[in-house]
A = this chain, B = another copy of it.
Amino acid sequence: MIKKIVGNIDFLENLRGKSASFALAISTTKTCDIDGLTQAGIPGFIYLTPTLDAEFLCSGEVRSLDNIAETPKGVPTPALISRAVHLLKSYKKLEIFDLGAKVKPKLDYFEQYSFGIEPSCSIEDGADIEAKKIFDLGEKFASEYELNSDYLILGESVPSGTTTALTTALALGYDCKDKFSSSFKDTPDSVKQKVVKKALANLAKEDKLFEKLSKVSDNMLIFNAGFVVGASKRGLPLVLAGGTQMACVLLIANRFASNINSKNLGLFTTKWIAEDENSDIKGLLEMLDFKVNAFYADFDFALSEHPALKLYDQGEAKEGVGAGACLVYGLLNGLSKEDITRKVENFLG
């Protein structure tokens, strides 16, 4: 029920029955306002998606907008999957890393870590991120982070994040043009390629790593790369929860730290990412100078007749809000595919 992408299967097996905290890193980039680039949310309100995902994940309610974020085709947010697992086998702690959400989630009781980070600009206009500061914040936070469970699952909600991830990896010199995923089944290559090209044109040959990141990346990627470096230094058990965006987090960390201790570092994602023919997460992870323990949940909606969920199996949405890692966590704790399917269906009525 859980399959390997790369790494050591004992990393995974050792997590059976262990408790996990789930932190959702949310951030807004104006890149997501570019028409047709992402389907992760409601047109005109894409910037709200991270906020709504955080609210729904924690409380079961969408508070900053009346309806839950749905794509134009009616693909619901993967937060439904992450929440369903939480209802069946709760994460020990749910918390938010606010890495520049435009609208703060309306949540009480749940820990929301704020770092004074503002939403970033569009990468078409140079993003304008204080990259070194953000990276250092992430590294420092990881060094101080108090883990109250056996391991930390770190997910993300950043609309248009695969575009900033692709651009970032290209800017850092990785040969990865066709390896990044998209929330679309049929990737809007023309729009995406135009944005990537325009963003890369802002780079100067003499730009150092942080200068490049400042122009073409997003806060989540940079902060989490710092977090990975900080976590690896202290051996914090950490699972990056996501697909090619989280792979990019590792690609960034790889450029800044020559010898990352990845013994306690994992990446868990969905089947829709791992078996996607239009992207190559395995290829991305194999570009790292260190080995990471990457697995995916062999979960799909074959047991459901719900048309909105069948769209996942056709390649829409694929991943986000830590859905893949939440599925792995659920499967490692005795949940069945049927349990999770029924619980997700419950949300849709």
A13 and B88 in contact (CB under 8 A), knowing A8-B108, A109-B8?
no
- Kindly state the separation between the CA atoms of A50 and B290 in the bound complex, as whole angstroms: 33
Interface residues of A in 12-31 (CB under 8 A from B): 13-14, 16-18
CB neighbours (8 Å) of A254 from chain B are none
A61 and B9 in contact (CB under 8 A), knowing A17-B86, A17-B90, A17-B91?
yes
Could you jot down 8 A-B contacts, CB within 8 Å? A8-B109, A10-B107, A10-B108, A10-B110, A13-B109, A17-B91, A88-B334, A90-B332
A109 and B14 in contact (CB under 8 A), knowing A9-B59, A9-B61, A61-B9?
yes
A13: contacting residue among B14, B18, B60, CB under 8 A: B60
- Since A13-B109, A87-B334, A88-B334 are in contact, a sample of 7 more A-B pairs with Cβ atoms closer than 8 Å, ordered by chain A residue number, is A10-B58, A10-B107, A16-B87, A16-B90, A17-B90, A17-B92, A18-B92
CB neighbours (8 Å) of A337 from chain B are none
A59: contacting residue among B10, B87, B334, CB under 8 A: B10
Chain B proximity of A90: nearest CB distance (Å): 2
Closest to A1 in B: B87
Chain copies in the assembly?
2
CB neighbours (8 Å) of A17 from chain B are 86, 89-92
Per-position contact with B for A22-55: 1 when CB-CB < 8 Å, else 0?
0000000000000000000000000000000000
Chain B proximity of A232: nearest CB distance (Å): 16
A143 on the B face (CB < 8 A): no
CB neighbours (8 Å) of A110 from chain B are 10, 13-14
In the complex, are the beta carbons of A86 and B10 less than 8 A apart?
no
Q: Say whether chain A's binding surface is mostly helix, strand, loop, or mixed.
A: loop
CB neighbours (8 Å) of A334 from chain B are 87-90
A11 on the B face (CB < 8 A): yes
A193 on the B face (CB < 8 A): no
Closest to A149 in B: B17
CB neighbours (8 Å) of A9 from chain B are 59, 61
CB neighbours (8 Å) of A261 from chain B are none
In the complex, are the beta carbons of A333 and B90 less than 8 A apart?
yes
- Kindly state the separation between the CA atoms of A18 and B148 in the bound complex, as whole angstroms: 11
- Kindly state the separation between the CA atoms of A14 and B108 in the bound complex, as whole angstroms: 9
Per-position contact with B for A115-135: 1 when CB-CB < 8 Å, else 0?
000000000000000000000
In the complex, are the beta carbons of B109 and A59 less than 8 A apart?
no
CB neighbours (8 Å) of A87 from chain B are 16, 334
CB neighbours (8 Å) of A61 from chain B are 9
CB neighbours (8 Å) of A14 from chain B are 58, 94, 109-110
Closest to A61 in B: B9
CB neighbours (8 Å) of A108 from chain B are 8, 10-11
**Most chain-B Cβ atoms within 10 A of its Cβ — which of A58, A59, A334?**
A334
